Amino acid sequence: MNNKKYFPTALALYFTYFIHGIGVSILGQYKQSFAGVWGATPLADGTFDVSIVIGVIAALGLGRLISLPIAGPFSDKFGRRKSGLIGIAFYVAYFVGIAMAPSMEVAYVFAIFGGIANSFLDTCVTPSLLEIFTNSGDVANMFTKFSISIGQFVLPFFIGFVAVSQMSYTTIFYVTAAAILIDGILIAFMPFPPANIVAGEEGKKPEKVKMKFTLTSLAVVAIGFTVTSTFQLWLNCNQELGKMYGLADPSKIQSLYAAGTFTAILVSSVLLKKIKPVKILILYPSIAAVMLLIIYFVQTPGITLIGGFVIGYAGAGGVLQLAVSTANSFFPENKGKITSIVMIASSVANYVILNVAGMLTKAGGTNGPKYVVLLNIVITLIGVLLALFVNVRMGKEANDANVVKAA
């Protein structure tokens, strides 16, 4: 039964993901500003080469890669609260450090800190929510993405307010650092449920069970890579694509992307009562792949706005969270570890794919954004194939289990 005394804790944990939504998006919104400060090469049209900023954004993934193998076991052994507080401390350092960084090299280090922050929050928040909402874990975990999306949705409005008020673009970095610090103080004193509780067994002490991977569970982990690639490539390269297609205000893409994402969360929370999460893992990436194909061939300003909403809905609408929840269903006694493993795959995508995108952007010049869309199409289609494989395998395993029961 869901325990109401932990609900305030859940709200505080969701707030960390609201801040996280701002944290993973804000560099992409200020690429030109940071490129200028960090000494990027000016282009023929008077703008700066933003490939170095994309490289810094990719360092978020490197930070996650470094820390996730530690964060998951740490969370299972020492508790969700400590994992979360470490994540918050590193996020404060990230926001302040990026705002003050005088060069790309210094920013790169603090971006790694941001990735470490993300890792420890992931291995705190997701397992905690699955342990608080034991009977509705899939939906509860999807609402972490809803929190991220709200942060991404309001960010352009914060940016506009800062610009109109003639404040420095670093203002938002300092405000978000203060906000997550205050939230961390609250989390330090809030109650947390016992770790690694399995639905229906809240009164039992969790047992140590060795993790045994199958092709199905490995495919789910791989989906963590593909779905992250889909939304990260779009999130960090859509501004340049919008300009290339003649969109007057590319920041609108970000707001529509966020609107699509939290629309997907609300719709999916209803769908999950009727269909299994693995079905959504097929449906949403398929929609995203079709939309990316349309964006590649229909080069108009309006299509980037439509694409922003659709990619937000189908590419970032809680698909990664559903992959994590599905993986957790295979390893209910090792929630921190399996969350880490899926997020490692996600981090590889964040680091490797964004570095590839940076190289494509640099090599392609004015056509660079289109090459990034092509890369996104290929990876998203691979994700669809993986989800189809998982769906078939899980169906077969369920049928085999029913046959054994009947016998």
Cβ-proximal residues to 163 (8 Å cutoff; 6+ apart), any chain: 169
**pLDDT digit string (tens) for the chain, length 407 residues:** 447 888 999 999 999 999 998 998 888 788 888 888 887 777 777 777 777 888 888 888 889 888 988 988 898 888 899 999 999 999 999 999 999 999 989 999 999 999 999 989 988 998 888 888 877 777 887 788 788 878 877 888 898 899 899 898 899 999 999 999 999 999 999 999 887 655 555 545 555 667 788 899 899 999 999 999 998 899 777 888 898 899 888 878 877 888 898 788 888 888 888 888 888 999 999 999 999 999 999 999 999 999 999 999 998 777 888 898 888 888 877 777 888 889 889 888 877 888 888 888 778 777 788 899 999 999 999 999 999 999 998 888 766 655 545 55
**DSSP string computed for 143-197:** HHHHHHHHHHHHHHHHHHHHHHTT--TTHHHHHHHHHHHHHHHHHTTS--PPTTP
Here the tokens at position 204 are 């039992």
Task: Please name each of the domains of the chain with its CATH number.
Answer: 4-196+207-406 (1.20.1250.20)
Give the predicted TM-score (pTM) of the model: 0.75
pLDDT value of residue 401: 58
pLDDT value of residue 281: 92
95 CB-side CA count, 13 A: 27
pLDDT value of residue 29: 82
Residue 273: phi and psi, rounded to 5, are -80, -15
CA nearest 56: which of 71, 37, 84, 75? 37
Residue 48: phi and psi, rounded to 5, are -100, 150
CA geometry: angle 64, 70, 75, nearest 5 deg: 105
CA nearest 236: which of 53, 403, 108? 53
pLDDT value of residue 269: 82
Here the tokens at position 314 are 């189908």
Query: What is residue 350's DSSP assignment?
Result: I
What does the alpha-carbon distance between residue 154 and residue 332 come to, in Å, rounded to a whole number?
35
Burial letters 230-265, b for 16+ CB under 10 A, else e: bbbbbbbbbbbbbbbbebeebbbbbbbbbbbbbbbb
First-to-last C-alpha distance (Å) of the chain? 32
Place of tokens 């289990």: 401
Here the tokens at position 405 are 């029961």
pLDDT value of residue 1: 43
